[in-house]
Structure 1
């Protein structure tokens, strides 16, 4: 009497369901899972941006262009690159070159002297430096930027590292992007942000990158020296190339063994 194939059908269905369940775990990798696809064109409420302020031990690129080439060179050479229309020179700046803000919050600039910049934004610092420069030069052009606006991204990202960023307006998404995005093992519901408060104490907050509320969080915009840590999942996600190949091979082996058993038993 011919044996029933019903048990074989059960085995095949079990294998298919197993593979489907492993593939379904990719849903956990999505950001902003509660954002309705029907409302993706609707305006999003973003957190207000607050400009970072200069702190002691920050390093600033301070450029002052004047009608005096010697004074301009003296002031700007500290930044690592000097470019003047009358005598062009080229070079590459050291990311940490510039003016160090002292513990007292001052910077010492050649020709201009000591100027207190701690507690000011870079916009306010430009105004302060220009106000000092106009006493000696006509229509000076001033630019002040951070050269050590550093954010560190660690944990389950593709390129964990400290990044010195050219832009002060940096979001948590920007930092994750600089680090090459999270790996499939990154816990998107529990991203740790470590920050130093104005009084010098470290504190931490946990952020859920699967929720659209992140975009309106007061921690959406990063500050200099923030540390972002992506916690790994407790269990490995099955939907990756190595595991998928492994489980497909296992399924094929089981299937072959069942076929042979039905033929010879």
Structure 2
């Protein structure tokens, strides 16, 4: 049941390489929280009124509920309509790049604006043999496979740790599937170790879980059948 079984069981520091994290890019249908702070308070409030990432709520590990909020929807063309700032094309940009673009637009109307942009709907879904399968909206975009499994309350004892399926839809509409072995340290170096928005993780049950469930079903049916037979026997005996 161990993760990363090929790491030494000693206190000695082991090098496991560098994780490959790529900043996620903004895609159509993403929701962004765009915040502009300026000395012109009223104008800033108009822009910020639609923000809504409830960072204080975080993620509820028991239910999967989180602080998902409202914000600015990226339309099918990759554009966002922001009051005062107008239409901004943000699809294909990282969060850092989008901040620069929003700041550039805000600078035309305000002096020295302070800009913050982040995802309001960075969602990953964890299903299968985990304790709390659900969709989780996470308040940051640096989320690893282990983070997502942790949000879902870890795998059950029946989860296949050496064959975790990651499903991802790319910006051009393609569906990708990748299987990861988290009993091996090399998984940390995989380009799929860090997740992107809307990734789905499926933890497959081990064979003994399937056998266990089948045995339980058979036992249940036998118990029901025995109860029915006993009842019929008693009815016949007493002429009821």
Q: Same fold (TM over 0.5)?
A: yes
1:170 aligns with 2:174: no
The equivalences for 1:1-265 within 5 A come to 29-38=1-10, 40-80=12-52, 95-236=68-209
> Paired residue for 1:14?
none
- C-alpha distance 94-153 of structure 1, shift in aligned 2 (>3 A): closer
Q: Give the count of matched residue pairs.
A: 199
- The CA deviation at 1:70 is 1.2
> Which contiguous aligned blocks of 4+ residues in structure 1 show a shift greater than 4 angstroms?
none
- The CA deviation at 1:130 is 0.3
- The CA deviation at 1:131 is 0.3
Q: Deviations over 1:167-205 (max 9, x none)?
A: 111000000000000000101111000001231111101
Larger Rg: 1
Q: In structure 2, what is the Cα distance between the partners aligned to 1:233 and 1:61?
A: 41
Q: In structure 2, what is the Cα distance between the partners aligned to 1:94 and 1:70?
A: 26
Q: In structure 2, what is the Cα distance between the partners aligned to 1:175 and 1:210?
A: 16
Task: Tell me the TM-score normalized by structure 2.
Answer: 0.79
Where 1:210 maps in the other structure, the secondary structure is coil
- The CA deviation at 1:95 is 1.7
Does the 8 Å contact 2:122/2:197 carry over to 1?
yes
- The CA deviation at 1:35 is 1.1
Where 1:159 maps in the other structure, the secondary structure is coil
Q: In structure 1, what is the Cα distance between the partners aligned to 2:67 and 2:159?
A: 33
- C-alpha distance 187-94 of structure 1, shift in aligned 2 (>3 A): closer
5+ residue gaps, structure 1, are 1-28, 82-92, 238-265
- C-alpha distance 94-187 of structure 1, shift in aligned 2 (>3 A): closer
Where 1:49 maps in the other structure, the secondary structure is coil
- The CA deviation at 1:60 is 0.1
Q: In structure 1, what is the Cα distance between the partners aligned to 2:31 and 2:171?
A: 17
Q: Which is richer in helix?
A: 1
- The CA deviation at 1:135 is 0.9
5+ residue gaps, structure 2, are 54-65, 211-240
